[in-house]
Structure 1
Amino acid sequence: MQAEAIMTTPVIGIEPSASVADAAGLMLSKKISGLPVIRNDGALVGIVSEGDFLRRGELGTQRKRSRWLEFFVSPGRVADEYVHANGRRVEEVMSDDVVTASPSASLGEIVDLMTRHHVKRIPVVDGGKVVGIIAHSDLLRALLRVLPSPASTAIGDEQIRQNIVTELAARKWASTEMISVTVDKGVVELSGAIFDERERQAAIVAAENVPGVKAVKDNLFCAAPLSVILVS
């Protein structure tokens, strides 16, 4: 799946010259936590989010340091913090280092960008213009669309068992020789040995994701010696 399939469009943006009050009001009215900052020609110049309004002089939340610690901070950094705490226009408080993606970017690439840069939204840019935006909520909606729904047709117990065994066999952490799978009217029972407690929940999840499974009974036991310490 590509970015263009799940991105929100049209994009709610704001101009660089707009006031901080306008940006805050727009975010509240639209129930969004950030806005791309877009010039009249459609070019993306920055992004402004709720985080940019946390340290404000009006709220008394601007950054404060002791005198001796202030000595070690450069005047330029202090000046920059003053602008962010007291600026009146969006262009004065926005982040201008914006992480973007193309419409053809995969969802895996989008998530990699979000996690690597610690951002909650990615503007989608095509030909220098903002054509959409992807936030965490867009990924949640995409997940809802692809999550499996209850099977509309009955699947036999033996087929369910075989599907679970096949799934476990494909996973490095699972030992199919040690884990036994039985199925009765869609209810799965897992028994046998595991060697790491983390494998227990992984095996349960593997079974739960097989179509036709109604419930999973966990009768696995951990055979790892108590003296063994595993490195996470």
Structure 2
Amino acid sequence: MQVQAVMTSPVVGIEPSASIADAARLMLSRKISGLPVIQSDGTLVGIISEGDFLRRGELGTKRKRSRWLEFLVSPGKVADEYVHANGRRVDEVMSDSVVTTAREASLEDVVELMADHHVKRLPVVENGKVVGIIARSDLLRALLRVLPERDATDVGDEQIRQSILAELASQTWARNSLIHVNVDKGVAELSGPIFDERERQAALVAAENIAGVKAVTDHLLWVEPLSGMMIDPLA
């Protein structure tokens, strides 16, 4: 799936010369946690988010350091922090280092960028102009659209059983799986040994995601690798 299929457009943005009060009001009224900062010609120049309002003099939350640590910090960094804690315009507190994406980018690329740069949203840029924005909430809406509805399909028990076995066989964590699968009227029963307790939840999730499964019962036994002792968590 590509960015253009799930991005939000047109974009709610704000101009660099706007006040931080205007930015805060806009974010609160639109229930969004960040805004791209856009010049009148549509050019992206930065981004402002809730995090930019955390260290504020008015709130008494600006950064404090001990005297000896303050001595070690460069005057330029201290000056920059002062502007961020006391600036009144968007262009004074915004981040001008913005990670962006393109319409044709894949959602996989977007998620990697968000994770690598620790950001919650990416402006979508085309020819230097902002044409959209993709945020975590857009990914959540996309997920909701593609999640299968439970009981939406009528699948035979044996087909369900074979699908669960195939899914387990394709997973590296289920190496040489000894898990037995039985299905009765859409209810999948998993039994047999597992050798890492974390495999239990993974096996249950694997079964839950198979079309036609109505419920999953857990009769798996954890075998402690060193002693060979079987541990039944339900016992």
Contact preservation (8 Å) 2:195, 2:223: yes
Write the letter of the residue equivalent to 1:10: P
User: CA separation in 1, counterparts of 2:123 and 2:162?
Assistant: 44
Shift of 1:152: 3.5
- 1:154 equivalent in alignment to 2:154: yes
Q: Which residue is equivalent to 1:68? A: 68
Give the root-mean-square deviation of aligned CA atoms. Answer: 1.3
Write the letter of the residue equivalent to 1:56: R
Q: Which residue is equivalent to 1:101? A: 101
Q: Which residue is equivalent to 1:200? A: 200
Q: Which residue is equivalent to 1:43? A: 43
Q: Which residue is equivalent to 2:32? A: 32
Determine helix, strand or coil for the equivalent of 1:71.
Answer: helix
Q: Which residue is equivalent to 2:10? A: 10
- Gaps of at least 5 residues in structure 2 are 229-235
Determine helix, strand or coil for the equivalent of 1:168.
Answer: helix
Q: Which residue is equivalent to 1:79? A: 79
Which digits, 9 at most, give the CA deviation of each residue in 1:65-118, with x for residues without a partner? Answer: 121211111110110000001111100000000000010010000000000000
- Gaps of at least 5 residues in structure 1 are none
Q: Which residue is equivalent to 2:231? A: none
Write the letter of the residue equivalent to 1:213: V
The list of structure 1 runs, each at least 4 consecutive aligned residues, that deviate by more than 6 angstroms after superposition, is none
User: CA separation in 1, counterparts of 2:227 and 2:113?
Assistant: 40
- 1:53 equivalent in alignment to 2:35: no
Q: Which residue is equivalent to 2:187? A: 187
Instruction: Give the 5 Å matches for 1:162-181.
Output: 162-175=162-175, 177-181=177-181
User: CA separation in 2, counterparts of 1:56 and 1:72?
Assistant: 22
Contact preservation (8 Å) 1:204, 1:216: yes
Shift of 1:184: 0.7
Instruction: Classify 1:176/1:155 alpha carbon distance in 2 versus 1 (closer, same or farther; 3 Å).
Output: farther
Q: Which residue is equivalent to 2:22? A: 22
Contact preservation (8 Å) 1:168, 1:176: no
Residue correspondences, number: 228
Instruction: Classify 1:192/1:46 alpha carbon distance in 2 versus 1 (closer, same or farther; 3 Å).
Output: same
Determine helix, strand or coil for the equivalent of 2:58.
Answer: helix
Q: Which residue is equivalent to 1:221? A: 221
Q: Which residue is equivalent to 1:121? A: 121
Give me the TM-score of the superposition, normalised by structure 1: 0.95
Q: Percent identity?
A: 73
User: CA separation in 1, counterparts of 2:107 and 2:157?
Assistant: 35
Q: Which residue is equivalent to 2:232? A: none
Instruction: Classify 1:216/1:92 alpha carbon distance in 2 versus 1 (closer, same or farther; 3 Å).
Output: same
Give me the TM-score of the superposition, normalised by structure 2: 0.94
Write the letter of the residue equivalent to 1:131: V
Shift of 1:153: 4.1
Determine helix, strand or coil for the equivalent of 1:59.
Answer: coil
Shift of 1:150: 2.4
Determine helix, strand or coil for the equivalent of 1:112.
Answer: helix
